[in-house]
Amino acid sequence: MPFSFLRLRRRYKDLARLRQIISVFFKYGFYQFIEQVNLARFIPFRKRILEKFPYIDRAFPERLRHAFEELGPSFIKLAQILSARPDLITKTYADEFKKLQDEVPPFRFEEVRNIIQEELGLPVEEIFREFEVRPIAAASIAQVHGAVLKSGEEVVVKIQRPRIKEIIETDIDIMRFIAELMDRYLPEAEFFNPKGIVEEFSKTVRKELNFKEEARNLNRFRRNFEGHKYIYIPRLYPEYLTEKVIVMERIYGVRIDSISEIERLGLERSHIARIGLEAYLKMIFEDGFFHGDPHPGNIFIMPDGRIGLVDFGIVGYLTPELMESLAQAFISLVKKDFDGLIEQYIDLGFVSEEVDIDSFRRDFKADLMDFLVPL
């Protein structure tokens, strides 16, 4: 059922949240946008007159990042996903949104205890010999705590944020509503397809809300990299798995972007880069199944030089046909066969029907030669 303003009015909670979202965007100086999409009626006249704009002198991408951060988990997650798409939102916005990858406030330990007991049926003390009160990491969907099982194994415990499913479902409804208004009132919006972004976000984030899905992904990665010399996937503890709690082996290492720490371990960066690339080539060209959220917080360099991957909530799948097309494109790129690369690019569906193919071929070939052929 299409989202509509009348449906929104029937759900007071959604309406209250919509007002809050609009208020935050107004606070960060996006009044022109609010007015253009016909949402200014949700801002009280007194607020319009008296509101101060402390961030108005800052760049547009920075203000948008602050607004998403204040709006909480759903918008932070959206920004994190968009940060991997500079082709869609430009590099400037992608770089700004990357700052939200690790800057999410944790929720209280009392709530952690309650969720674990509700989900696993036992208090924390009966499952774990030790449990770290301070989280190792806090993200938009969940946070992670270090612990030691009664059997002595060191693990990490990932716990979903309280009421996060309800929060995200409400925000997705509102995002759809705003996307519809953008399509209606902002002709330029068609270039980045706001409704398509919301639908893709909806599919991605709903999968992340079920940790049993993540467990299946983790097990598949363990099978694919079983016995691999340089890639390590942590072990799952299925006896402590629910939709909201997942327990995995704890691996130690430094983030892949901690260059000084990597050098302190005496490891060669070129070697790490090579095995990381080889791992992704294997995922894409052999397995057809790849890690879909490879930001630095999910990739660790272990003391023995292996790369440890974590967080398997977002993954990608490739059909055999798509794998073959990508392989041919990669071969064309290596051989500098620009005509072949352009044909693969078109066959993969990266060029819309509205584009003049002959002009595209000429312009794209010129760009490729300029970028790949040294002077």
The full DSSP string for 155-186 is EEEEEEPTTHHHHHHHHHHHHHHHHHHHHHH-
Instruction: Work out the percent of the chain whose per-residue pLDDT is above 70.
Output: 91
Cβ atoms 100, 83 nearer than 8 A: yes
Annotated catalytic residues are 293
Of the candidates 165, 173, 164, the one whose C-alpha atom is nearest the C-alpha of residue 18 is: 173
* Range name among 99-113, 158-172, 220-234 with the lowest pLDDT average: 99-113
Residues 6+ apart with CB under 8 A from 273: none
Specify the pLDDT at position 375: 54
Cβ atoms 186, 36 nearer than 8 A: yes
Q: Which residues pair with 154 in a beta bridge?
A: 148
Cβ atoms 211, 237 nearer than 8 A: no
Cα–Cα distance measured from residue 20 to residue 16, given in angstroms and rounded to the nearest whole number: 6
Q: Looking at the whole model, is its pTM more than 0.95?
A: no
Amino acid at 317: Y
In the structure, what pLDDT confidence band is assigned to residue 336 with cuts at 50, 70 and 90? confident
In the structure, what pLDDT confidence band is assigned to residue 71 with cuts at 50, 70 and 90? very high
What is the largest distance, in Å, between two alpha-carbon atoms of the chain? 68
In the structure, what pLDDT confidence band is assigned to residue 330 with cuts at 50, 70 and 90? confident
Cα–Cα distance measured from residue 280 to residue 289, given in angstroms and rounded to the nearest whole number: 10
Of the candidates 52, 76, 73, the one whose C-alpha atom is nearest the C-alpha of residue 64 is: 76
